[in-house]
Every structure is written in C-alpha cells, then in structure tokens.
Structure 1
Amino acid sequence: MNIVLLSPHFPAQQYHYAEALKAQGARVFGLGDEPPQGLSDALAKVLDGYFYVSDLHHYDELLRTCGQIIWHHGKIDRLESLNEYWLETEAALRTDFNIPGLKNEQMAAIKEKAEMKRLFQANGVPCAAGILVDSLQQALDFGESQGYPLVLKPNIGVGASQTFKISDAESLRSHLSGPAPRGGWMLEEYIDGEIFTFDGLCDRSGQPVFYTSMVYSDGVMEVVNSDDHVAFYTLREIPADLDALGRQLLSLFPVQERFFHFEFFRQHGDKSLKALEVNLRPAGGPSVDMYNFAHDIDLYHEWANIVLHNHFNTRVERKYFCAYAGRKQHKPYLHSHHDIVARWHHLLLEADTLPGVFRRAMGDYFYLLRSANERDILEAIAFIQAC
C-alpha cells in the first residue's frame, strides 16, 4: 500500500506512525512544509519519499504534489495526518483523489460544533444547551433564559482558542462586538464538572479494538484563559455510564479505521455525564504514548496493523494509571526538577519540553508517570505542581 502522511514531522512523535507502517511493509511518503533537511533522522530513514511544499495551506500546491506522487508511485491508498488541524485538508484531498477515508461531506458533523450538538440532541445524547449565534439579540435572549455564566466559542475551532467564560450580558455584548470566527459563534450553558474522555481506536467496520479513558484536572478553556498548568491521567476502570455513552457516540460518527477522542463533563452536582465534543483523531500531546505506557502495548504498531491488514493482535489489559503533569515557566513551583526526580524516580517515565504552540494549553514542560496505584499518581501530580 502507498500511504501519504501529511505533516509527518510535527508533532515530533508523529514519526512513530511512519515507522510502524514501514515496519509492516507499506510504502510511506511524507508531504509537508518542513524543508527536507529539517526532518529528524528517525523520520527520514523510514520514508520512501518526502514531498516538500512551501505551505500546507496552499491547496493547489497540495493537489499538484499528490498528482506527482500518483504519477511516480501509483495510486494513494491512504492519506492521514492524525492531527485535528489538518482534518479538513485531508478530507478534501481524499475527495479529489478518491482515497478511502473521511470525505468533504462528512466534515460538518466532525468539525462544526452546532452540527455535532444537533446529532447529540437528535439521538438522545445529553449535552449542554446551546445555540449558533445569529444576532446579538438572540444571544442576549439565550443568556436571559439560560442564565449566566455561559461559554462562547467558535463553531469551528481547535482546542480552546477564542473560548471564553461569559459572566454577564455586558461581557457577552463586548465579545460579540468584533468579527465572528469562521463558522460563527456557539453560545452554550456553562457546565460545572470534571472532564472525562472516552478514547480509542476502531477497525474498518467501526468497532472499537482498543478503548480507554482519562480524567482532567481542569478544562482546557480554564487552563488557557488563566494560563494555569494542567494534569490528566488514564483510568484502570472505565465507569459504566461513560462506557455506554462513549459506545453510543461511536455508532453516530464515521469512526472506521480511526482513533477517536470523545470528551464529556461529569457534573459536580448529580454526577451525570454530558457530551462536550467528538474528535476523530488521537488525543493531543503525548496521549498515545500514555496509552502505551498504561497498557504495555504499542498503539502505533496496532494502528498500522488496522490500516494495512484490519487486524489488532494485542491483548489489552489496563495495568497502570499513567499521568501527565504539566508545568509553566512563570509559576513559582516549590519543587525543582531535581526534587521531582529524587522523589518520584520510581514512577517517572519521561520529562520533556513542549513546542511553543502547545504551551498555553499543556505547559512548557511535562512529566509522565505511571503506577498501579491511583493514590501514587495523585500525590506525584500534587508534588510536581505545588506552588
């Protein structure tokens, strides 16, 4: 099979997908805007070819380059980025070249929060009340009927960019006074709760061959807007209600041969779940590495196995809790890196910096830890992030 990976150089761990495909016999081609000399040795050595474009946002250039790949190497069997930012670009290229996978006509339910919410509501999935803003008066009427606080966010967006907690009508007027983002604004009720995820990988028929869950210390909106640090960790047991709701969402979206990352609020009051959003790609940062550490498996290999052969050969056992603890340079932490290593070396898996584009949501620096004991994980997170 000929597999094209879009932007295979970023984030850095993306090379594992190319490596896994190559190890199982695929011909792997990179298509990116990083000059060839900027590719890591680990990535360059597993690519059968790298096609450089000046800017991945220039669609005409991508069309021409995919045409060159087909002319020189034959049809493209799969095209993937495994990155939220490029999902629409992937779909457009698949549509134009008739490549299997998500196409243009499927993007609305995946990228537009209003359409996602419509699907939730039509199928009885509990979710936050919300509207696609048509006018200031409509938004003010929603605030009057729903009550404050509210959440204002782009209908089409990545992460928590331009996402705001709205405390009153004056704040709402202020935020709506400027130009709207692409796709318009979504205005929703504010949910007071913890974020839980239902994450995994599906085979070609859309059946989950691997699934897990994570719980977050804070929502991304709160972390970004307050420039705070974040922590999250995988669970060893998935709550029954989360499992049921996650599986219901799998039946509503085109998850075939894809990773998925579904986000839910567990409300602080009655502990019930409300769906937040659906993402048809892996969770961000080193999450796939965390799944691997938590289960002692290799999901990069198994993803490639699904793509090439539709097989998943690993027995899944949730052996550990695996945690991510982020830190930000401006915060006055009580414990140094040396202190952390000395105290938690027996749990520590990795410690590294993050690219600047991720710092607001995930931190400047992070630690990965694992333990079979949840209390160990919580104590380690508290130690690392103590100020």
Structure 2
Amino acid sequence: MNVVFVEPAFPSNQRQFVRALAEIGATVIGVGERHVDELDDQLRGWMSHYHQVPTVIDVGVMTDTVRWIQDKVWVDRLESTIEAHTMAAAQVREACTIPGTSVRTAWLCRDKPSMKDALRAAGVPTAASMAAESAAEVHAFAESVGYPLILKPRSGAGALDTTRVDSAAELDAALGKFGAQSASSIAVEEFVEGHEGFYDTLSINGHAELDFVSHYFPNVLEAMRNRWISPQFVATNRVDSVEDYQQLREMGARVNEALGIGTSATHMEWFFGPKGLRFSEIGCRPPGVGAWDLYSAGNDLDIYREWASAVVNERITTRPSRRFATGIIALRPERDGQISGYSGVDDVQSRMGEWVLDAHLPSPGTPTQQVEAGYMANAYVRMRHPDYDVLRGMLDDVGRSVHVHAS
C-alpha cells in the first residue's frame, strides 16, 4: 500500500507514524515543510520519497503535490495526525478521490458549534453552545444560559485561548481579547461543572478497536492558568473493570456514528459531574502531549504500529494488557526567565525510581516557557504503576517534592 503522510518531521513524534507504516510494509511518501537535508538518515530511510512544500495547510499546494505523486504511483491513503492539518488533508482527499476522513467529518471535528449541534441532534448530552459572530449574540446567549460561560476559538486544539467568564464585565474583557486577535467568529458554551478527562480510540470503520481513558487533575482550564499547580493526567488501567467506563464507551460510539468517523485515531474530551456524563469535544486525530507513549508503556503494545495496521490492513494485532496505569506530571518553574536548577530530584529517584518511565529536566540556562504552553512545556516526569491509586499518589508526591528553580 502507498501512503502519503503529511509532515513526517515535526513535531518529533511524527516520525513514529512513519516508522510504523514502514515496519508493516507500507510504502511511505512524505510531504512536509522542511528541506530533505533537515531530515535524519533514519527518517529518510523509512520513506520511499519525500516532497517539500511551502505549507501543508494550503489546499491548492497540497492538491497539486498529491496529484503529482499520483502521476507516478497509485495512492491508497493520505494520512495526517496533527489537528491543524486535518481539514486541508480531508479536502485534498476529496479532490484526489483518496479514501479516508471526509471533509464533513473533518469540519464537524474542527468547528465546535457545528460539532455540538450534530451531536445534540443525535442525542449525545453536551453543553449548550453557539457560534457567535458579534458581541450582541454572545450577550444574548449569556442572558439565556447564564454564567459561567466558556469562550474559545471555533476550531483548534488545547486550552490555549479558552476563557472562562463569570460576569458581564469579564465577558466584555474576553470579547475584547478575541477582537484584538481578529477573530470573526467564536464558540460560546455553557460551563459544565465536573471532573474532566479524555477518551481516546483507534477506530476502524467507525468501531473503537482500541480505547483508553485518562483523567485530568485538575481540570485543564484551571491547570493552564495557575503556575503553582503541577498538573497531571493519568491513563487508568481499569477501563475494562469499572462499570462507569461502559457509559463513556457508549457515548464514544454514538459520537463516532454521528460525526461519520471511520478509520482514524480519535481524542474525545468529557466531563462528569452533577448533570452526569457530558461530551466536551473531539478531534479526529491522536491525542497530543505524549499520551500515546503512555498508552504503549502501560499496555505492552506499540500503538503507532497498531495505528499503521488499522490504516493499511484495517485490523489491530495486539489487545491492551491494562498492566499499568501511566501518567505525566508537569513541573513548572517558580517564575519566568531561565532555568537555574532543580531540587528534590535525587530524593524522588531514590524512593520511586523503579516506576519512573522518563523525566525531562531542561539544562540550567534554558529559557522557561509560559504556563499556558502545556504539560510538556518545561520539566515533566512520566511514571507507571500496576495500581492506579498508588500511581496517583506517587505523581502527587513528585509534584510536592521536585521544584524547578528559575532566575
């Protein structure tokens, strides 16, 4: 099978998709923005051809490139795994008659108000929401639904630029921020109280063949707004034994069907609180923040290879062992500037080292990144343990014990 893979070199884990495709026997044609000389020998070796383009999100450029490739070889699949690339990739598939995620599905998984309209019509419980193109529309929605509200870009990934407002004054300030960013339309939704997590699948023809459940501590919006918090997310190994997760699985299946998700990785966020289980949003692509690496480490499988097998052969080869719960804790510097050192690392290593998967501790002198940049922006530790509750406690211990100093 000949697979065109979009942007094989950046971010760094993109190479794992290329590796996995090559290992199961696919012929990989890479299309990306970097010059071929910037790719290392191993990455180049996994591809039969690499084609540089000015940008992978220009539909015209990508369509011309794929048609040029089609003049040389038959193209069976065109795959992208980055949120910002999914819509352009879907449009190119349609223009070049290549199977895969449709434009409709890509649109519904990118445009949050349209996504929720489609899911409400299918009976999936979601927060009240709308797409607003004026401040007056937002204020009218606020009067109808009440506060708190959540404002976010209509398309995108992660918590960046997602804002909670609790009053009319805060709403005006937030609208000013979006206006300064020249946002012509934003998503506005009811704030849903509850615990937040995500449900990730590898789906084949709409059915979740592999699935994983992770929990945020604390919820993302709080974590990305408070420097003193060392946030974490934990992938549970109790997916098959806790009855409540069956409700989540059923929701995921209904979402797949309503949005037309076929053979693809998915990343679905959810809340559970006083109103029960509520859908938040979904991406038709793998999760970020190294979540797939945690799933592989906890389940005795290579999820990248399973993804490649799903794309090429429409089957998986390994079931999750659920042997370990896995998690990551982000360690924030005490202030912005340059990292000057660490304390508590040796203590944690001596007490819990056997359960540490890896740690990222940037060298002194490294510039810090903003808290809003996410879980892997500065320092972090990743761990696993057979007992989910024990792992939670160990991650909390790391957050209390390890300190990132900056000057």
Is TM (by shorter chain) over 0.5?
Answer: yes
Listed one character per residue, the Cα deviations across residues 179-214 of structure 1 (whole Å, up to 9, x for unaligned) are 5765611211212222122211112x2221111100
Cα pair distance change 1:183/1:95, threshold 3 Å: farther
- Find the aligned partners of 1:291 and 1:11 in 2 and give their Cα distance: 19
Cα pair distance change 1:163/1:243, threshold 3 Å: same
SS at match of 2:248: helix
- Find the aligned partners of 1:59 and 1:245 in 2 and give their Cα distance: 33
Q: Which residue of 2 aligns with 1:284?
A: 288
What's the offset of the Cα at 1:358?
A: 9.7
The answer to whether 1:374 aligns with 2:388 is yes
Mapping 1:1-387, distance limit 5 Å = 1-72=1-72, 74-177=73-176, 178=179, 184-203=185-204, 205-227=205-227, 228-238=229-239, 239-267=245-273, 269=274, 272-330=276-334, 335-352=343-360, 360-362=373-375, 363-386=377-400
- Find the aligned partners of 1:367 and 1:45 in 2 and give their Cα distance: 31
Which stretch shifts more, 171-180 or 250-259?
A: 171-180
Which stretch shifts more, 54-63 or 331-340?
A: 331-340
What's the offset of the Cα at 1:2?
A: 1.1
- Find the aligned partners of 2:306 and 2:208 in 1 and give their Cα distance: 12
In 1, are the aligned partners of 2:361 and 2:380 still within 8 Å (CA)? yes
- Find the aligned partners of 1:337 and 1:367 in 2 and give their Cα distance: 10
- Find the aligned partners of 1:24 and 1:356 in 2 and give their Cα distance: 38
RMSD: 2.5
Question: What is the TM-score normalised by the length of structure 2?
Answer: 0.87
Listed one character per residue, the Cα deviations across residues 137-180 of structure 1 (whole Å, up to 9, x for unaligned) are 33223223322221111122222232111121012123224257
In 2, are the aligned partners of 1:155 and 1:183 still within 8 Å (CA)? no
SS at match of 2:13: helix
Listed one character per residue, the Cα deviations across residues 235-284 of structure 1 (whole Å, up to 9, x for unaligned) are 122323222222222222222211111110111x46x1111001111111
- Find the aligned partners of 2:342 and 2:44 in 1 and give their Cα distance: 41
Listed one character per residue, the Cα deviations across residues 66-125 of structure 1 (whole Å, up to 9, x for unaligned) are 2332233x1221111211111011112111111111232333311111111112211221
Cα pair distance change 1:7/1:180, threshold 3 Å: same
- Find the aligned partners of 2:349 and 2:145 in 1 and give their Cα distance: 48
Question: What is the TM-score normalised by the length of structure 1?
Answer: 0.91
In 1, are the aligned partners of 2:326 and 2:384 still within 8 Å (CA)? yes
Cα pair distance change 1:360/1:274, threshold 3 Å: same
Between the aligned residues of both structures, percent identity stands at 25
SS at match of 1:29: strand
Gaps of 5+ in 2: 240-244, 363-367
What's the offset of the Cα at 1:218?
A: 2.7
Cα pair distance change 1:106/1:242, threshold 3 Å: closer
Instruction: Count residues with an aligned counterpart.
Output: 383
In 1, are the aligned partners of 2:105 and 2:259 still within 8 Å (CA)? no
Cα pair distance change 1:247/1:57, threshold 3 Å: closer
Gaps of 5+ in 1: none
- Find the aligned partners of 2:370 and 2:304 in 1 and give their Cα distance: 23
In 1, are the aligned partners of 2:87 and 2:107 still within 8 Å (CA)? no
Listed one character per residue, the Cα deviations across residues 220-240 of structure 1 (whole Å, up to 9, x for unaligned) are 333333355421111122323
